[in-house]
Structure 1
Amino acid sequence: MTAFRTLDDVDPHGKRVLVRVDLNVPVKDGAVTDDTRVKAVAPTIAELADKGGKVLLLAHFGRPKGGRDPSQSLKVVVPALAAALGRPVGFVDDCVGPDVAAAVANMVPGDVILLENTRFHAGEEKNDPALVAELAANGDLYVNDAFSAAHRAHASTEGLARALPAYAGRSMQAELDALGKALGSPQRPVIAIVGGAKVSSKIDLLENLVGRVDVLVIGGGMANTFLAAQGKAVGKSLCEHDLADTARRILAAAEKSGCAIVLPTDAVVAREFKANADNETVSVDAVPADAMILDAGPASVDAVRARIDGAKTLVWNGPLGAFELTPFDAATVAAARHAADRTDAGALLSVAGGGDTVAALNHAGVAERFSYVSTAGGAFLEWLEGKPLPGVEALKA
């Protein structure tokens, strides 16, 4: 039983359905260059329209700072949306007001209309009750299918969910189900792999995870900060020496809660940060003073593989090395492919998210083989940090 209502709980026939979607997509020369987010929300839109709903789409685009900015109009997304849906999509150049009311009055069941950028109104980001009321006036039901915007308490994400009967769309439902299985009520043991450049951006994340997972693998640049906190010399590696106390605090919290911390024991080092730079593999106890750690070494990768073998659930955020540069992508690729193999074998539930993580899994060619890959960015990180997401809280039945 989910804690939120889904499309299974509603008959939209003849109803005006306000659907919050994420259409904040890259555009170049007046055309969408990556339609991943468009395709993600298409099933919800199609289902509601096929069941006779009058579908009104709400979305933001860019950062227009609460005023009208033609360069950030959602109109540019209409062709990609129509193509993904295989049906015509109307457009109204505002999200509230008389033009919207007139368009809604002329809708028939199955129609789909995209409304203009909600952020053209200053009340959107302020969650202004007046704007919420204006938006709600055009709907009978509200569906949120934008998990990526769920960490914001905006008029179109949180306010509307409290003003109208509210439901999770299929993309939101899939995301919440996957996240619930990964950390809410997971099959144990649970392993988390956290990488990336800096500890400073992931302190809350690490502090939450050590109390919730059985094994925490720390990689990437942030591992150097932990190694330095243990008294190891890391040469010219990226390292936040001023966070040594924080790193030691996280290690102590992990020990107290019985979470095993896995840090690299060997490293691939180079003198230059560039692809195919001359490199060598050394023990983390013997990093040359003039070198920088750019990837975890083969013994470290073997240790990560063994930990993945012993787990039933994996949560992954951040690469294990400078994966954008060959050959310093080796550890990330090897670990990702091993996790994918375990997932294929039915032995592991694997959930990953965050921009660099998605790029790394795509680079390794395994994103499609993970159980679930979240493209939500900030919302995924806040969820990993254990923070309540306003847009999700508002959907709870």
Structure 2
Amino acid sequence: MAKQTIKDIQVQDKTVLVRVDFNVPMKDGKITDDNRIVQALDTIKYLTDQNAKVVLFSHLGKIKSEEDKAKNSLEPVAAHLGELLGQEVVFSPETSGPELEEKVKKLSPGQVLLVQNTRYEDLEGKKESGNDPELGKYWASLGDVFVNDAFGTAHRAHASNVGIASHLDSAVGYLIEKELKYLGEAVDEPERPFVAILGGAKVSDKIKVIENLLPKADKVIIGGGMAFTFLKAQGLEIGQSLLEEDRIELAKELLDQAGDKIILPVDITVADDFSNDANTKVVPVDQIPADWQGLDCGPETIEKFKEILSDAKTVVWNGPMGVFEMEKFAKGTNGVAEILANLEDANTIVGGGDSAAAVAQLGYEDKFTHISTGGGASLNYLEGTELPGIAAIKDK
């Protein structure tokens, strides 16, 4: 990897500032899914084993009011992290000022401090999310070196990643190293056949991904709402299904350019209403009723996808195949998850977001080679777009 990793920098007995992604789902002050915290443990434990004083920065939610501050405090995260590490984690309720500085100064080697939600700094102007240079410089002054291990925010230039990195020797942690290894190898050095599966609502959200992966992949499977713009581009009637009129010509161009590389659904689960209680039926793609809408792909499509994926050696999946939040329209997404979970001798990479949520819901996490922790960041990576949080880290 071109960037310095945690093993390339001197951390022993140093104060190490670490950007982690503890933007975890919370309900009534309780963490409902601690996966992002668990994913950061390898880096934190390595640093404490090296007798480093560890200062962690993370955001949680968006902060636009005092009410947001109250419900997005990282204090419960500090307590839970302490349980996972088997040691007390010091918590600073302040994001700047004498109290934070004193707590950092008092840390013993091997101790961990979690700083309050970095986005508290956004309440009076976007200091954190706007990468305020003074804030980045101030946070950098608290430590000796910087480690970025928050892949989930690597596509953003914030004071707590790019800002700090511009003032200190820096490296990526184990989690980002792993993300870049799996995503990078899958996209740039795939074992073939390489199949990309792209879903989600809109073509406009995935144009760059399609354009970046078409020359690299052997097949590109397209599902979800975005498939209907492609079906319309083929001259088919799609009823009330989701359509981006202004992308039909682009879809035509991509289909012409791709030849037989792009694979579209052959049958659709249609509904007479956008609701889990709607009447549904499965129809071929060329028989969608005028007043019905497609909300999932059908069983023949899943069989077709299964056949294409049967000999795949590398698969990258980003985006659901239907409105999987509604049980009636989750069969396509669940079907793809099941096919990939049972592929033998294949590298299966899930690009975060809704696809990762579907895999987790089905309990298949252990059956995939890699599940990305960053929806937006992995999408940008698949587009071939530079990630500022990683670009800011020193090269080897």
Query: Normalization by structure 1: what TM-score?
Result: 0.91
The alignment status of 1:390 with 2:388, answered yes or no, reads yes
Do the aligned partners of 1:353 and 1:373 also contact (CA within 8 Å) in 2?
A: yes
Q: Which amino acid aligns with 2:341?
A: A
The alignment status of 1:118 with 2:118, answered yes or no, reads yes
The alignment status of 1:338 with 2:318, answered yes or no, reads no
The whole-number CA distance in structure 2 between the counterparts of 1:29 and 1:271 is: 37
Do the aligned partners of 2:9 and 2:170 also contact (CA within 8 Å) in 1?
A: no
Q: Which amino acid aligns with 2:355?
A: T
The whole-number CA distance in structure 2 between the counterparts of 1:124 and 1:142 is: 17
Q: Per the alignment, in what secondary structure is the counterpart of residue 286 of structure 2?
A: coil
The whole-number CA distance in structure 2 between the counterparts of 1:324 and 1:104 is: 43
Q: For residue 146 of structure 1, report the CA deviation from its aligned partner.
A: 0.3
Aligned residues: 390
Q: Identify the residue that residue 228 of structure 1 maps to in structure 2.
A: 232
Cα displacement string for residues 69-88 of structure 1 (whole angstroms, at most 9, x for unaligned residues): 44433223221111121110
Q: Identify the residue that residue 74 of structure 1 maps to in structure 2.
A: 74
Q: For residue 154 of structure 1, report the CA deviation from its aligned partner.
A: 1.3
- Alpha-carbon spacing, 1:92–1:270, altered in 2? closer, same or farther (3 Å): closer
Identity of aligned residues (%): 43
Moved over 6 A (4+): none
Q: Which amino acid aligns with 1:199?
A: V
Q: Identify the residue that residue 281 of structure 1 maps to in structure 2.
A: 282
Q: For residue 12 of structure 1, report the CA deviation from its aligned partner.
A: 2.0
Q: Per the alignment, in what secondary structure is the counterpart of residue 4 of structure 1?
A: coil
Q: For residue 117 of structure 1, report the CA deviation from its aligned partner.
A: 2.3
Do the aligned partners of 1:215 and 1:260 also contact (CA within 8 Å) in 2?
A: yes
The whole-number CA distance in structure 2 between the counterparts of 1:62 and 1:193 is: 29
Q: 2:377 aligns with which of 374, 379, 385?
A: 379
Q: For residue 66 of structure 1, report the CA deviation from its aligned partner.
A: 10
Do the aligned partners of 2:19 and 2:58 also contact (CA within 8 Å) in 1?
A: yes
Q: Identify the residue that residue 323 of structure 2 maps to in structure 1.
A: 322
Q: For residue 289 of structure 1, report the CA deviation from its aligned partner.
A: 2.0
Q: Identify the residue that residue 158 of structure 1 maps to in structure 2.
A: 162
The whole-number CA distance in structure 1 between the counterparts of 2:148 and 2:180 is: 12
Do the aligned partners of 1:66 and 1:120 also contact (CA within 8 Å) in 2?
A: no
The alignment status of 1:60 with 2:64, answered yes or no, reads no
Q: Which amino acid aligns with 2:186?
A: A
Q: Identify the residue that residue 209 of structure 1 maps to in structure 2.
A: 213
Do the aligned partners of 1:218 and 1:261 also contact (CA within 8 Å) in 2?
A: yes
- Alpha-carbon spacing, 1:303–1:129, altered in 2? closer, same or farther (3 Å): same
Q: Identify the residue that residue 109 of structure 1 maps to in structure 2.
A: 109
The whole-number CA distance in structure 1 between the counterparts of 2:276 and 2:72 is: 36
The whole-number CA distance in structure 2 between the counterparts of 1:194 and 1:319 is: 8
Q: For residue 155 of structure 1, report the CA deviation from its aligned partner.
A: 1.6
The whole-number CA distance in structure 1 between the counterparts of 2:310 and 2:277 is: 31
Q: Identify the residue that residue 300 of structure 2 maps to in structure 1.
A: 299
Is the deviation greater in 357-366 or in 58-67? 58-67
What CA RMSD, in Å, does the superposition of the two structures yield over aligned residues?
A: 2.2
Q: For residue 224 of structure 1, report the CA deviation from its aligned partner.
A: 1.0
Gaps of 5+ in 2: none
Do the aligned partners of 1:227 and 1:234 also contact (CA within 8 Å) in 2?
A: yes
Cα displacement string for residues 229-271 of structure 1 (whole angstroms, at most 9, x for unaligned residues): 111011222222332112112223324xxx7000112222232
The alignment status of 1:352 with 2:361, answered yes or no, reads no
Q: Identify the residue that residue 142 of structure 1 maps to in structure 2.
A: 146
Query: Normalization by structure 2: what TM-score?
Result: 0.91
Do the aligned partners of 2:151 and 2:373 also contact (CA within 8 Å) in 1?
A: no
Cα displacement string for residues 120-152 of structure 1 (whole angstroms, at most 9, x for unaligned residues): 334322323322221111111111110001111
- Alpha-carbon spacing, 1:285–1:71, altered in 2? closer, same or farther (3 Å): closer
Is the deviation greater in 97-106 or in 272-281? 272-281
Q: Identify the residue that residue 272 of structure 1 maps to in structure 2.
A: 273
- Alpha-carbon spacing, 1:86–1:248, altered in 2? closer, same or farther (3 Å): same
Q: Per the alignment, in what secondary structure is the counterpart of residue 55 of structure 1?
A: strand
Gaps of 5+ in 1: none
Do the aligned partners of 1:97 and 1:134 also contact (CA within 8 Å) in 2?
A: no
The whole-number CA distance in structure 2 between the counterparts of 1:167 and 1:378 is: 21
Do the aligned partners of 1:178 and 1:372 also contact (CA within 8 Å) in 2?
A: yes
The whole-number CA distance in structure 1 between the counterparts of 2:139 and 2:328 is: 52
Q: Identify the residue that residue 243 of structure 1 maps to in structure 2.
A: 247
Q: Per the alignment, in what secondary structure is the counterpart of residue 262 of structure 2?
A: strand
